[in-house]
Structure 1
C-alpha cells in the first residue's frame, strides 16, 4: 500500500486536496468517486516528492515540526507498535498537509523493506545528516525510542535558543530603526529651516551649527546615492561570500571582532560538541560523529579546523589534543574533554561541556542585548544634545551682540 496525493472537486465544485493510502491510483479515484468527488489529479507521494527533490532538493519542514514528529515517533516506538504503524499514526496526527505527505512517503519506503534511516535519505531537506545518522545509530543499537527522544530534546533546545535570541533582538532593532528615522527626519526637515535663519544673517556660525548644516545638506543632496552605495556594498559582500574560499576569509575576520567573534566562537563550538555528544552517545563512532558534527558548524574557519581535528583523531590522536591544536575551543572545554577521556566518561562530559558553553553564550548574548538599549538611549541623547547646541549657540551669540 502506498500514499497518493490527490486533488478533487466536491459536489459544490470546491477544490479539495489531501493524501490517501491505497494500492493503486485507480483505487484512489474510486474512493473519491464514492464520496461524490470528481478526481482531478492523483499521483503517488513518493514519485511527486522524488521529482521535487530533483528540482528543488525535496520537501522541507520546520525545526519545530521536525522536533514534534520526532517526539511523537519516539513515544509510539516505545509503546511497542510496529514502525510502519507508528509512522502512519504520526502522519494522521499532523495538521500540516506537507508533514502528513512526507511521513506517508517515508512509511511507503519502510513498507518496501528499507530501514527508517534509509527511508529518510530520500528526503534530505527535511531530515539533515545529523538526524539520519542518529536514527541509523538508534536502529543498530536497538534503542530507537531513546535515541529519538534525545534527538527531539536537542532540536527543541536549539529552537528555544533561536527564538529567545530573536525575541530579545526585536526591541533593540525597533529602537535602532526609530532612532535613525528621527535623526534623518530632523536633519532633512526641521534643522534646515531653523538653522537657515541664522546663516541668512551673514554672521559666522559656531562649529556645531556649521557641522549640523553640512550633515543636513549632505542628507538632502546625497541620500539616494548613499542608499545605492549601501545596497551595492551588500550585493558585493554577498557575491564575495558565494565562493567558500572567500567566505572562509570573511568568517575568519568575524572571529577577530571583539563581541561578534566571541559569540560566533562560543555558539559554533558548543553546537559542535553537543552534536558529537548526541551521535557518540547513540553509538556512532567518534571519528564519524566528528565528521557529521562538522557540518552543523556555520563558521567555515572553525569547520575546517574541526575537520582537521577529526583527521588527527582517526590517526590515533586524542580528542582533547586534536581540539586544542584546532584552536577556538576555550581551555575549560579542553580540560573537561580531557578529563572525560581519562575517566572513560567522554559522552557525558561532552554533553556537560556543551551545556556549560551554551549557557555562557546565552548569558553573553543577554548581556549584549541588555546593554544595547541604554547605549542607544545615550547615543540618541548625545545626538539631540548636539542638535540643541547647534541651534542654541547662534541664539546666545546674537543675544550677546544685542546686549
Structure 2
C-alpha cells in the first residue's frame, strides 16, 4: 500500500502535516475528511521526494538516523515480525518526517513484490554498502543476522564520527577565541597604548614600530581582509569540488607528515570494516572491493583500490596489490595475506578492522592532546610579543629619566 504525505487543516484552522497509507490519494483524502480535517495537499511520497530534490534529503539523512533505523529493523526482523510490518513500525517510531517517508516508500516497494534491497536501491538514499549487504542477506536467507552485523557496523561508524567531532570542539573554540583576543588587542588596546609613544618623539624599538604598523594595517584594512578571505574561501571550495582540485588536495594530504598518516589510517579502517562486513555477508570479493573503494574519502586511495580490484579479477592477490600501492599499513596487509592463504579472509579483515579502529582512535587522541597545548603556547607567544613591544619603550623611557 503506497504512502502519501498530506497537509490538512483541522476544525480550529490548525495546519497538520504527516504521512498516511492508502490505495490512492482519493482514499487518503477521505481518511482526512473522516477526521473532520480539510485536505490541502496529498502527494505520493516518491513524487514528493522528486519534487523537493534529493540533495536536501541527503543532508538530513544523518549517520544517526541510519544507525538507529538499522538497529530497530534488526530487532524486529529477528523477532520474526514480517518485513513490511517491521518497516511500518520503524517508520512510526521515527520522529523525522523525511525518514518516515523514506521507510514507507521502501515498504510500498516491498508490498509490490520487490526485495528489501531493491526497494532501498530505488529510493536512492541508502549507501551502496548498505544495499549490497542486505541483498546478500536476503539471498542467503539470513537477513536477521546480516541486519544485526550491519547494525553493529553503522553504530561503530557513528560512534567514531561523534568521537572525532567531540574531540575537535575544544581545539576549534580555543583557536577562534585566540584569534578574537589577538584581533581585539591589535585593534583596540595597542593603538591607545602606542599613542603616548608617538607624542614622546623618541626612537622606538623595531618590534614596537612593527607592532604599530601591523595595528594600523589591521584597523584600516580589516573589511577588505574579511572580504578577501571570503572570496578566497569560495574560490578554494569551488576548486576542491572539481575533480582536478579534489585529486590535488588528496595528493597533498597524503604527503603531509601528520595529516597524511591520519588520512591513510582513517581510509584503511573504513576500507577494512566495509570489506569485512561484505565478505562475511557473502558478497563476492570483487564487488566488495568496488564498494570499499567507493566509501573511501580520499580519491587517490579510491583509485588504488579500484586498480587492486582489477588485478584481483586477473588472478592477482589482494594483499600483494594493496602492498604495492603503499597506502595501507604493513600489519593490515600481512593480515590480509594471511587470510587469503588460510581461506579465512573475512575473519582476518574483521581483526584488521578492529586493529585499525584502535590505532586511528589512539592517533587522533594523541594528535588532539598535542594540539591543545601547542595552541596555548602559540597564543601565549603572540601575547608575549605584544607585551614586549609595549613594555620596551616604557623601560627605555625610565632609563632615560
Mapping 1:4-403, distance limit 5 Å? 4-52=4-52, 61-125=61-125, 127-402=126-401
After superposition, what is the alpha-carbon deviation per residue over 1:259-292, rounded to whole angstroms, capped at 9, x for unaligned?
1111111101110111011111101000100001
Contact 1:305 1:327 in 2 (8 A): no
**C-alpha separation in 1, matches of 2:46 and 2:182:** 56
Residue 323 of structure 1 and its aligned partner are, at CA, apart by 0.5
Gaps of 5+ in 2: none
**C-alpha separation in 2, matches of 1:60 and 1:208:** 51
Contact 2:57 2:98 in 1 (8 A): no
**C-alpha separation in 2, matches of 1:50 and 1:111:** 21
Contact 2:92 2:100 in 1 (8 A): yes
SS at 1:6 equivalent: strand
Q: 1:351 to 1:331 in 2, by over 3 A?
A: same
Q: 1:146 to 1:179 in 2, by over 3 A?
A: same
Count of aligned residue pairs for this structure pair: 401
Q: 1:197 to 1:244 in 2, by over 3 A?
A: same
After superposition, what is the alpha-carbon deviation per residue over 1:298-348, rounded to whole angstroms, capped at 9, x for unaligned?
111111111111111111111100101122111111111111111211111
Contact 2:336 2:348 in 1 (8 A): yes
After superposition, what is the alpha-carbon deviation per residue over 1:82-102, rounded to whole angstroms, capped at 9, x for unaligned?
221221222222222222222
**C-alpha separation in 2, matches of 1:376 and 1:42:** 55
**C-alpha separation in 2, matches of 1:59 and 1:38:** 32
Q: 1:87 to 1:321 in 2, by over 3 A?
A: same
Contact 1:58 1:124 in 2 (8 A): no
Contact 1:59 1:123 in 2 (8 A): no
Residue 50 of structure 1 and its aligned partner are, at CA, apart by 4.5
Which stretch of the first structure deviates more once superposed, 177-186 or 18-27?
18-27
SS at 2:80 equivalent: coil
Gaps of 5+ in 1: none
**C-alpha separation in 2, matches of 1:85 and 1:193:** 72
After superposition, what is the alpha-carbon deviation per residue over 1:145-178, rounded to whole angstroms, capped at 9, x for unaligned?
1111111111111111111111111111111111
Contact 1:255 1:261 in 2 (8 A): yes
**C-alpha separation in 1, matches of 2:234 and 2:46:** 39
Which stretch of the first structure deviates more once superposed, 104-113 or 215-224?
215-224
Contact 1:57 1:124 in 2 (8 A): no
Q: 1:289 to 1:180 in 2, by over 3 A?
A: same
SS at 1:12 equivalent: coil
Q: 1:121 to 1:236 in 2, by over 3 A?
A: same
**C-alpha separation in 2, matches of 1:184 and 1:103:** 50
**C-alpha separation in 1, matches of 2:212 and 2:368:** 34
Q: 1:359 to 1:59 in 2, by over 3 A?
A: closer
**C-alpha separation in 2, matches of 1:49 and 1:298:** 27
**C-alpha separation in 2, matches of 1:316 and 1:235:** 46
SS at 2:200 equivalent: coil
Q: 1:396 to 1:51 in 2, by over 3 A?
A: closer
- With normalisation by structure 1, the TM-score equals 0.95
Residue 116 of structure 1 and its aligned partner are, at CA, apart by 0.7
